[in-house]
Chain A
Amino acid sequence: MTAVTVLAYGAGNVASVRFALERLGATVRLTDDPAGIAEAERLILPGVGAAGYAMARLSGLGLVEPIRAFSRPLLGVCLGQQLLFEASEEGQGVDMLGLLPGTVRRLEPGPGRPVPHMGWSRLSLTRPDPLLEGLEDGAWAYFVHSYACPDGAATLARADYGGPVPAVVRSANRWGCQFHPERSAAAGARILRNFLEIEP
């Protein structure tokens, strides 16, 4: 049985991520301390809400350096993907983990395009990747966010929401999903299963 550790740091959708992994037969461990990260075979960084609050929680628990130093597979989900980048313009500006370059910026509402971007959008895949194995171009995923990551070389999949929205990103052994795989029906389950099967 594949083991996966989920960071339960008080700013995440831990329960729904955990239940989705359990539906796939994984053994899920929750942790909020550096030792738990050090022991993890693979790590999921969930997150909902404000970037500043999430970073303050990670910092207060002494988790920032252990996450930066973690070299086995890491998956950031939703806000967890955003936290992988250098900074966010949310609030007065927030310094984040800096594992990927660039600044997370606010989505601007437009005609027919309310913000938050909330609902099911199609994924447009940019290149093959083990995390996206078996996924069809145009697969639907469930998004809920008001800020978007910078589009760049790390982008593995995009959604279109008045412009490109990086939906899956990767740098080395660190992946991120802007959407909620735990709430994205079959496509989301496939992505989580792929993550569980990536060799540490």
Chain B
Amino acid sequence: MTARRIIPCLDVRDGRVVKGVRFEGHVDMGDAADLAARYRDEGADELVFYDITASPEGRTLDYGWVRDIARLLDIPFSVAGGIRSVEQAGRCLDHGADKVSINSPALERPELIAEMAGRFGAQCVVVGVDSRRAGDDWFVHQYTGDPAASRGAGRRTLDWIVEAQALGAGEIVLNCMDEDGVRRGYDLAQLAAARSRLTIPLVASGGAGEAAHFRDVFQQADVSGALAASVFHTGSVGIGELKTFLDQAGVEVRL
């Protein structure tokens, strides 16, 4: 079996890690490489780097920066931000990224998932999904990195993740926007619903505020990994203490 993964997420703008509440009002959290090295040393299982302005601005991320991160890390990392072609994804992987995460471009053109999986294998292709509750269902949003561009994508979340898996996605990161940045815990109902529809790994995102939230999402939604940002950046949850807590709660983690 695999250990449950603890995945700090670094939202990056111009080499700096930023964090907003519900995707708005960004605050500087420090240098991206410094934070990456810190999380590596504290026992993070994987890192995710989102260039949060790339997709809304119609550009892709900085490959030289991907290479610098790859040199630094001896744990896996994925990159995201404005990747909309097989060629761009290939350059990310060639510069040392382990996985490429696509979100809005996959919604614009779902065949991109199949093209990337066909060329690099499903294990390199992560589909990120920003999801928000409406009534008693959940719906996909896109261009969420920019409040002015953010909008509904006109798809049910549970339909889209199944379609993405069928097209060749190797992993889904489901970001529950209603909970993002507010630290009330992961959206267990939504994540459990998503888990039950997938055979590929599912990573939870959005809502972590304390160690118990990680325990709950692993035990109640059976996700493979839990992604969080602000609780790690501010130091309110330390990765080492979190993993000890999870181990004592009976959740298998890499110590």
> A residues engaging B (CB < 8 A)?
13-16, 19-20, 22-23, 48-50, 53, 79, 109, 112-121, 140, 142-146, 160-161, 180, 182-186, 188-189
Contact = CB atoms under 8 A, between A and B. Distances in A.
B1 A113 contact: yes
Nearest to A192: B74
A53 B76 CA distance: 23
Given A121-B1, A140-B254, A180-B76, A146 B123 contact: yes
Given A49-B121, A121-B2, A19 B201 contact: no
A117 B2 contact: yes
B179 interface: no
Given A16-B98, A118-B171, A23 B74 contact: yes
Interface of B is mostly: loop
Interface string B85-106: 0000000011110110000000
Contact of A119 (B45, B71, B198): B45
Interface residues of B, number: 36
Interface string B1-29: 11101000000000000000000000000
B70 A15 contact: yes
In the A-B complex, the 8 residue pairs with the smallest Cβ-Cβ separation, listed nearest first, are A119-B2, A49-B121, A15-B96, A109-B199, A144-B123, A183-B76, A120-B3, A116-B123
B1 A118 contact: no
A116 B67 contact: no
Nearest to B200: A114
A142 B75 contact: yes
Contacts of B98: 13, 16, 144, 180, 183
B96 A119 contact: no
Interface of A is mostly: mixed
B74 A112 contact: no
B107 interface: no
16 contacts: A15-B95, A16-B96, A19-B71, A22-B71, A48-B93, A48-B120, A48-B121, A50-B121, A120-B5, A144-B98, A144-B99, A144-B123, A146-B122, A180-B76, A180-B98, A183-B73
Contacts of B1: 112-113, 121, 160-161
A108 B92 CA distance: 29
Interface string B113-128: 0000011111110000
Given A49-B121, A50-B118, A50-B121, 15 more contacts: A15-B93, A16-B70, A16-B98, A23-B74, A49-B120, A114-B224, A116-B122, A119-B5, A119-B201, A120-B45, A143-B2, A161-B2, A183-B75, A184-B74, A186-B74
Contacts of A119: 2-3, 5, 45, 201, 224-225
Contact of A116 (B94, B119, B170): B170
Contacts of A79: 121
B222 interface: yes
Contact of B93 (A13, A53, A186): A13
B49 to A, nearest CB: 14
B5 A182 contact: no
A57 to B, nearest CB: 12
